Amino acid sequence: MLKWSLRVKILCSAGLIIFVVLGTSTLVHISRVRQGYLEALEWRSQALAQGLIKKARELANTAPEFNSNDLLELLSYWLKDIYESNPKLTHIAAIDPAGIIAAHTEKALWDRPVNSSELLHALQRREQLTVLVEETYHMVFPIFTGQRSYLGSIDIGIPKDITDREAQQILHDAMGLFVVFVGVAFVAASLSGHFLTTPINHLVSIARELAEGNLVKSIKSTSRSDEIGVLARSFAHMRDRIKQQIEDLQRLNDELEQRVEQRTAELAREKSIVDTFLANVPDSIAFKDCDSRIIRANKAHARRMGLESPSDEVGKTDFDFFPEESARRKYIQEQKIIQSRVPVINFEEQDVYHDGRTIWQLTTKMPLCDEHDDVIGIFGISRDITEIKQVEHELKQYREHLEDLVRERTSELSQINARLEQEIAERTQAEHALRVSEQQYRLLAENANDGIAMIQKNRLVFANNALAMMTMYPLTQLLSTDPLCIFHERSLHTAKSQLKKDDKDHPHTVWQAELRTQHKWTIWAEIEQAAIVWNGQPALLLTFRDITAHKHREERLEQERSRLEEENLHLKSTIRDRYRFGPLVGKSPVMQRVYELLVNAAAAEVNVWICGESGTGKELIAHTLHQVGRRNTQPFIAVNCASIPETLFEREFFGHRKGAFTGADRNSQGLFDRAHKGTLFLDEITELSPASQAKLLRVLQDGEFTALGDTVSRKADVVIVAASNKNCQEEIIAGRLRKDFFYRIGVIEITVSPLRDRKEDLSFLIEHILEEYRHKHTHAQGNDPSLDVPDDHTMLPPELIQAFYAYDWPGNVRELQNVVQRYLVTRNTHDVLSLLGAASALHQTSYAEDLPHTLPEAVRTLEKRMITQMLRQTQHRIGKTAEQLGMPVRTLQYKIKKYQLSLKT
């Protein structure tokens, strides 16, 4: 294809414009000249004819007898002279009224009729006309007398080619001028094109340089004020911008390379750390694919399998290391973990290897998922606890041995006790005389409030009445018994060790012990012991102070503390190792977090805010919180805030007094009265108006409320548990929830995840529902053989279990309970699958391929499908559909109208 430069285009355009203008002007000029020449001939011919007509009219007027023949005969003499004086005329003829040529410049045509129809037609009209006949213009002039008598017509002929010859001559002259003008035009166009294209060509070269990356070449014409100057300045600005952007990109590229190097180094360091960890961790770690083939393991796992390197394990299964029965058990367990996605944590197993080794292991196995949450394998970690098991066995044997020793030692102590009683009796008789000399000291001791006793040589040589009253022994009997007899068995060891301290190294000690009265009652005493000398022999002076009441308070506090610690440990152990917490069921991390928050909230007795979708069990969580707390013996009051009109708010919550309003014929307790010292559960609390929230806020802040019609405020000792299925922050932003009200109630916020986000709890929930159903029908119907409830969820039809895990459960646990009970009643698997829409749920891949590529369109498509499916399942009941989808009825009606969905059944 031919490419023309800008200069050639400008020259061609200018030449074409000049050619068109000059050619048009020439043609217009020729046409005008030709028309003017023709008009001049016509005017001249008209003048000749008028002269002839005038002469004929004068003769006709002077001679009345003058007729058309005379006129025509007279004209025949004049025609020759007129024709010879006008050589450019073709002919002159006189024609009578009958259309006969009476006279003609050519004699041969005399007395002949007119042979041209066009000319004959013009003659018959008797008007002045011009007719073109055979390349000759015939100008016809009628002749009339003074009385308007028609005498005939004069025909003057003008050749047509005479005007063409004149036009050709003018055209030749015009073409000469045209050639001159074209030359001048091309010269002017060339000069102007050079003036225009030179800076443009410069700009083109600059653009090529910019395209090739040359940003150094200078740009001219930037000082011009026309469009070329604007383009030049734009190119200069563009060059500077490109240069700046290239510099910025270079700097960013350097920074990116630096970051890539740093990230590469970090990844290498992290990989080194992971490899070092796997190589040095003493526990056995292995990664397997979905077919239970080993894809990676550490050195500890290889050594346990009897191999030298972890690479030797790759591609092998448990069948290569264990007997077939053990390997099949492990394979079934791992496949169940992959299918249910539920990990197995800290379970003990005894493995027997092919080489005869027997190892006890504490194992944890869990599924491995990729970034799309698809299971790609299984991860397992095991710890060798063989030595621990051996130690446990040895401890068991040692404990049995200790029990035998204790039995033998108890028999020996009984014999010693009998000997001691005998010795005490002998010493009591010997010391009878000593008591007489102690009358003065005894008088002082008898009046003391605390019990006083003196022991010498392991015998009770003195005791006052206060000690006798404290132990409820007669004084004489008390002095005749072994001093250890007044101590309870639990304090015998302490008493023995303390009563041995009668030397000067232990002059004064204070200790506590349990005393046993004669009626087998137990009292606590604080004993102040002093080492003295009595009758030249070392002795012990004991002062007993009754601290039973104080000790009982300490024991109650200690028991309460122990109970709380035990309960706390039990709850934490339950949360960590079990799948249920009271009536709550679930082992997922989100449910474990809920259990922990429940324990903390129950211990602190603070207000709690529970947030979650409809059907997730918010009220059950609130009731569980009440049961595990110290208020479990007090009332638990539940109320739905959406059911309380704002006009009745104070009456329902605070109560009223008789006569407070029309119809108030008696006192009535409010919710705070009924829940006093207990728990008040406020469901759907976000449905309260801001004004009602402000009234509740006053109660929460001051701890007091006033009933309608009353003047005395009362204390509100209530723990409030609030629940809502709406986003709290969105409600605060929208102004429907007061921020201070939310912060006052939401001291601890518990978020309950929907069932679709914790499907690992499905198996536990299904088994719990089956257990409740079995328990209910067993008590209602007795041992009815027709009642056939599966023992656990694995006995349900496989396609039903698969549909359960594929379904998203918009109605959460409430919907799951409904579906399981429906199956237990109907035993119709197809009916339940149709209810769940299992066909679409089991083909999520093809379902997702039909979705649009943009996120907003995909969201709208999925939302429309879900609403359509749920409407079909609920037989187009709006309220039921809104409940299952977890949205308000108004929102559902708006979306049905938005997506133009049909409500026809």
- What are the structure tokens assigned to 699, written together? 């109660």
Residue-wise DSSP of 792-811: SGGGS-HHHHHHHHH---TT
Two structure tokens written together for 32:
């005008």
- Cα 483 from Cα 500, distance rounded (Å): 12
Q: How confident is the model at residue 805 (pLDDT cuts 50, 70, 90)?
A: confident
Q: Which two tokens stand for residue 546?
A: 């009754």
| Residue 280, pLDDT score | 73
- The C-alpha angle 317, 321, 322, rounded to 5 degrees, equals 105
Among 277-286, 567-576, 591-600, 772-781, the range with the most confident prediction by mean pLDDT is 591-600
* 792 compared with 130, residue with greater pLDDT: 130
Rounded CA separation 213/239 (Å): 10
Q: What is the spatial distance between Cα 865 and Cα 825, in angstroms, rounded to a whole number?
A: 29
Closest CA to 682 of 622, 739, 750: 622
Q: Go through the domains of the chain in sequence order and give each one's CATH number.
A: 6-170 (3.30.450.20), 281-384 (3.30.450.20), 431-546 (3.30.450.20), 578-750 (3.40.50.300), 759-898 (no CATH)
The arrangement of strands across the sheet holding 459-463 comes to 459-463, 451-456, 537-546, 522-534, 508-516
Q: Would you state the structure tokens that stand for residue 85, as one six-digit string?
A: 């004086």
Q: Is the pLDDT of residue 838 over 50?
A: no
pLDDT value at 175 more than 50? yes
653-687 residue pLDDT tens? 999 888 888 888 888 889 999 999 999 999 999 99
Amino acid at 421: E
Mean pLDDT of 643-648: 88
pLDDT in tens, 97-144: 777 777 777 766 666 777 777 777 777 777 777 777 777 777 888 877
Helix (H, G, I), strand (E, B) or coil at 209: helix
Residues 639, 622 contacting (CB under 8 angstroms): no
For residue 442, give the nearest of 432, 452, 450, 433 by alpha carbon: 452
Output the pLDDT for position 98: 76
Amino acid (1-letter code) at residue 600 = N
- pLDDT-derived band at 313 (thresholds 50, 70, 90) equals confident
**Closest by Cα among 532, 382, 514 to 461:** 532
Q: Which helix (H) or strand (E) holds 148?
A: none
pLDDT score recorded for residue 4: 57
Q: Say whether pLDDT at 779 is over 70.
A: no
pLDDT at 84: 63
As given in the structure block, the two tokens for residue 364 are 């944890």
Opening angle at CA 682, ends 680 and 687, nearest 5: 160
- pLDDT higher than threshold 60 for residue 3: no
More confident: 304 or 854: 304
Q: In this predicted model, what pLDDT tens digit does every residue of 519-566 receive, in sequence order?
A: 888 889 999 988 888 888 888 888 998 888 888 888 788 877 777 767
Highest-scoring range by mean pLDDT, 131-145, 215-229, 616-630, 857-871: 616-630
DSSP one-letter string for 604-670: HT--EEEEE-TTS-HHHHHHHHHHHSTTTTS-EEEEEGGGS-GGGHHHHHH-B-TTSSTT--S-B--
Looking at residue 639, its pLDDT comes to: 93
pLDDT of residue 718: 94
User: Are the CB atoms for 685 and 639 separated by under 8 Å?
Assistant: no
CA distances from 756 to 132, 588, 805, 811, 815 (A): 103, 12, 9, 10, 12
pLDDT digits (tens, 9 = 90+) for 460-514: 888 888 888 888 888 888 888 888 888 989 888 988 888 887 666 667 888 989 8
Degrees (nearest 5) of the Cα angle 137, 89, 81? Answer: 140
pLDDT in the model for residue 848: 46
Closest-CA residue to 572 (of 610, 612, 602) = 602
Query: Quick one: average pLDDT of 839-851?
Result: 45
DSSP bridge pairs for 620: none
Give the whole-angstrom CA distance, residue 795 versus residue 510.
68
Percentage of the chain modeled with pLDDT above 90: 9
Least confident window among 307-311, 379-383, 587-591, 701-705: 307-311
pLDDT number for residue 622:
93
Nearest 5°: the CA angle 471, 476, 477 is: 60
* CA geometry: angle 252, 255, 259, nearest 5 deg: 135
Contact 44, 82 (CB under 8 A): no
What residues have CB less than 8 Å from 348, skipping those under 6 apart? 360, 361, 362, 363, 385
Three-class secondary structure of residue 721 per DSSP: strand
Q: Which long-range contacts (CB under 8 A, 24 or more apart) does 170-177 make?
A: 170/29, 170/30, 170/33, 170/34, 171/26, 171/30, 174/26, 174/29, 174/30, 175/26
Q: Pick from 270, 64, 234, 76: which is nearest to 154 by CA? A: 76
Q: What angle do CA 498, 504, 510 make, to 5 degrees?
A: 35
What residues contact 63, with CB distance under 8 A and at least 6 apart?
A: none
Per residue, what are the HEC states of 449-503? Answer: CCEEEEEECCEEEEECHHHHHHHCCCHHHHHCCCHHHHECHHHHHHHHHHHCCCC
* Helices marked H in 67-113: 68-85
Banded pLDDT at 569 (limits 50, 70, 90): low
At residue 64, the 3 state secondary structure works out as coil
Asked whether the predicted pLDDT for residue 66 surpasses 60, the reply is no
Res. 755: pLDDT tops 60: yes
Q: Is the pTM of this model over 0.85?
A: no
Q: Which two tokens stand for residue 376?
A: 């790609």
Cα angle 517, 521, 527 (rounded to 5 degrees) comes to: 55
> Which pLDDT does position 409 carry in this prediction?
67
Q: What is the pLDDT of residues 589-635, one digit of tens each?
A: 888 888 889 888 888 889 999 999 988 889 999 999 999 888 999 99
Average pLDDT over residues 214-238: 67
Measure the CA–CA gap between 94 and 606, rounded to whole angstroms: 138
CA–CA dist 540, 292 (Å, integer): 77
Amino acid symbol at 732? I
Please give the helix or strand (H or E) that residue 768 lies within, else none: helix 762-781
Edge-to-edge strand ranges of the sheet holding 358-369 = 294-297, 284-288, 375-384, 358-369, 344-352
Q: Which residues contact 317 (CB under 8 A, 6 or more apart)?
A: 291, 292, 293, 294, 327, 331
pLDDT of residue 638: 93
Paired with 362 in beta bridges are: 348, 383
- Dihedral angle of Cα 441, 443, 447, 449, to the nearest 10 degrees: 40
The mean of the pLDDT values for the chain is: 78
Token readout for 141 is 């002039």
pLDDT at 161: 67
Q: Is the pLDDT of residue 842 over 70?
A: no
Q: How far apart are CA 650 and CA 644, in angstroms?
A: 10
- Both tokens of residue 857? 């369109």
Angle between helices 762-781 and 812-826 (to 10 degrees): 50
User: Radius of gyration (Cα) for the chain, nearest Å?
Assistant: 63
The residue behind tokens 């074209």 is 182
Residue-level length of the chain = 905
pLDDT score, position 468: 86
Q: Which band of pLDDT confidence, cut at 50, 70 and 90, is reported for residue 1?
A: very low
pLDDT band at 387 (very low <50, low <70, confident <90, very high): confident
Sheet architecture: strand order including 150-159: 101-104, 91-95, 150-159, 136-144, 129-132
Please write the tens of the pLDDT for every residue from 11-37.
677 667 766 776 677 667 666 665 665
- What gap in Å lies between CA 79 and CA 606, rounded to an integer? 142
Name 262's Cβ contacts closer than 8 Å, sequence gap at least 6.
none
Of 385-399, 419-433, 442-456, least confident by mean pLDDT is 419-433
Model pLDDT, residue 738: 92
d(CA 354, CA 327): 11
Residue 353 vs residue 194, higher pLDDT: 353
Query: Distance between CA 597 and CA 608 in Å, rounded?
Result: 10
- Checking if the pLDDT of 42 tops 90, the result is no
